[in-house]
Structure 1
Amino acid sequence: MRSKIIGTTLPVLELQLDAGDRVIGVPDQLSWMSGDISLTTSTAGGGGSGGLLGLVSRAVSGGGLFMTEFHAERGPGNVAFAAKLPGSFVEMQVEPGRGYLVHRHGFVCGTPGIEVTTAFQQTLGGAVFGGEGFILQKLAGRASAFVELSGELVTYELQPGQQLLVHPGHVGMFEETVGFELTTMRGVRNALFGGDGLFLVRLSGPGKVWLQSLTAPGLAHAISYYLPERRG
């Protein structure tokens, strides 16, 4: 399998599969495909033997109940996934003891052996994340995985004991060695969260952190003034 990133602002991830190659992805993010590609969709990672996706608990995370396996059966083919927001795709090598926690819509696709589970879900106040709260998915197993992050990327290598306070929407991804907890700063009013208090995520080292500059709630809030009012 070979990967290629097409474009910059709204990139497309194109995967070139040789005969026999398989990749497991999010079905609603598929943009186009060509060649001898077959699709199998199921709640267990597209079927197949050997536990291609392992344990899946994506339904409660809002990432979708079903996953699709793309299989180049008798010949080569291409599969493409388009970004939902301006940003970038990041390829990660997932290994036992070297997993990652990503934001709720971060996982795009991975090779057989990837395990995608819900790692954390916490309800937050107001209209943030559409009222669905702060959700993290965990990528584990042994595979290559592609993650979508929005806006510009800012990375930090946290040392043991070093902490970083981050707005939940800007948490893109971090290594599983990084500790995290939700905390509230009282006395700060925030239109996205409502009420008196601002939720922040405390990330604690050691480990690497990827932050994203663009958030879907922030984008929705910025353009809400220009949208027609709902009536009825």
Structure 2
Amino acid sequence: MNNHEIDFNLYGDDMQFVEVELDPQETVIAEAGSLMMMDSDIRMETIFGDGSEQQGSGLMGKLLGAGKRVISGESLFMTTFTNQGSGKKHVAFAAPYPGKIIPMDLSEFEGKLICQKDSFLAAAKGVSVGVEYQKKIGAGFFGGEGFIMQKLEGDGMSFVHAGGTMHKKVLEPGETLKVDTGCLVAMTGSVDYNIEYIGGVKTALFGGEGLFFATLRGPGTVWIQSLPFSRLASKVFAAAPQKGGDKGEGSIAGGLYDLLGGK
């Protein structure tokens, strides 16, 4: 075991958070802005990249690891949380929007997991958070995630966030699953990922499902989310008042606000 061994508990249903228990000198890494709370003996430190040994110990190794994160659209920095006390301490990380936090033991998936950008939440120190390039041009241009997805490598525990409800499906060799490109959360390295044209001009233009969907071919395991953040954001944007509408616009409260002269 090269990664720190951490214990954890999940709390909540639709707006979850994960509480990680750290023994003395154990460390967990997390994306900036995901911290919810921590005990007083936890030391927080900002570092280049993810701090894994796979990046190399020299300056160039650290710059290379941090540079890969910039390419994938992430920050140059990550945050580590280390237990500097004498007993067990706790640190908690919250989900960024409604959904589920999925604990992933990388040792159960041959040490590698590929996931969509922004789904990584936290992991035991030693897990490498890198990038995975899509070798197929179709998957790169039309996959909804571009040429680059996140790659988690190691043998420790990591936590991935999915929007809405999460569904785990094990694909047999040769078995194919077609999903909306935004609904794919993660997959094991053995899954073959490609993009397929939805077919039919009428369906493509008026079906409301886009022009392409992802095809996932086994063997391997995939995780699917019911509510991609892009879909949630588009619904919120469509319902928001346009051009600086009045307070309470479109509601009974808004009408009362107008009758009272906006006071």
**Shared fold (TM-score greater than 0.5)?**
yes
Aligned length: 223
Which position in structure 1 is the counterpart of 2:217?
204
Distance 2:197 2:187 in 1: 21
Deviation of the 1:177 alpha carbon:
0.7
Deviation of the 1:49 alpha carbon:
10
Specify the code of the residue in structure 1 equivalent to 2:80.
Answer: E
Deviation of the 1:211 alpha carbon:
0.4
Distance 1:120 1:49 in 2: 18
Which position in structure 2 is the counterpart of 1:84?
96
Stretches of structure 1 lacking an aligned partner (at least 5 in a row): none
Deviation of the 1:120 alpha carbon:
3.4
Which position in structure 2 is the counterpart of 1:35?
40
TM superposition outliers: structure 1 runs of 4+ over 4 Å: 46-56, 132-135, 190-193
Deviation of the 1:108 alpha carbon:
1.0
Offset from partner CA, 1:168-187 (integer Å, 9 cap, x none): 11001111110101233242
Distance 2:13 2:148 in 1: 27
Q: Does 1:114 align with 2:127?
A: yes
Which position in structure 2 is the counterpart of 1:9?
14
Of 24, 45, 62, 2:29 maps to 24
1:46–1:68 CA contact under 8 A, matched in 2: no
1:40–1:47 CA contact under 8 A, matched in 2: no
Specify the code of the residue in structure 1 equivalent to 2:123.
Answer: G
2:95–2:161 CA contact under 8 A, matched in 1: yes
Distance 1:168 1:44 in 2: 27
Deviation of the 1:74 alpha carbon:
2.8
Q: Does 1:60 align with 2:71?
A: yes
Which of the pair is proportionally richer in strand?
1
Which position in structure 1 is the counterpart of 2:50?
45
Inter-CA distance 98–142: structure 2 relative to 1 (3 Å threshold): closer
Which position in structure 1 is the counterpart of 2:152?
139
Which of the pair is proportionally richer in helix?
2
Which position in structure 1 is the counterpart of 2:250?
none
Offset from partner CA, 1:5-27 (integer Å, 9 cap, x none): 11111011111212111111112
Distance 1:46 1:115 in 2: 8
Of 94, 99, 106, 2:106 maps to 94
Deviation of the 1:201 alpha carbon:
1.2
Deviation of the 1:223 alpha carbon:
2.6
Which position in structure 1 is the counterpart of 2:80?
69
2:185–2:225 CA contact under 8 A, matched in 1: yes
Distance 2:75 2:142 in 1: 20
Which position in structure 1 is the counterpart of 2:205?
189
Give 1 or 2 for the bigger CA radius of gyration. 2
Distance 2:206 2:146 in 1: 15
Stretches of structure 2 lacking an aligned partner (at least 5 in a row): 1-5, 135-139, 245-263
Specify the code of the residue in structure 2 equivalent to 1:4.
Answer: N
Deviation of the 1:109 alpha carbon:
1.1
Deviation of the 1:44 alpha carbon:
3.0
Distance 1:61 1:190 in 2: 32
2:142–2:195 CA contact under 8 A, matched in 1: no
1:51–1:113 CA contact under 8 A, matched in 2: no
Inter-CA distance 38–101: structure 2 relative to 1 (3 Å threshold): same
Offset from partner CA, 1:76-128 (integer Å, 9 cap, x none): 43211111121111111113833111111111111122111111363449xx7
2:190–2:218 CA contact under 8 A, matched in 1: yes
Output the TM-score relative to the length of structure 1: 0.84
Over the matched positions of the two proteins, sequence identity in percent amounts to 30
Give SS of 2:221's match: strand
1:98–1:175 CA contact under 8 A, matched in 2: no
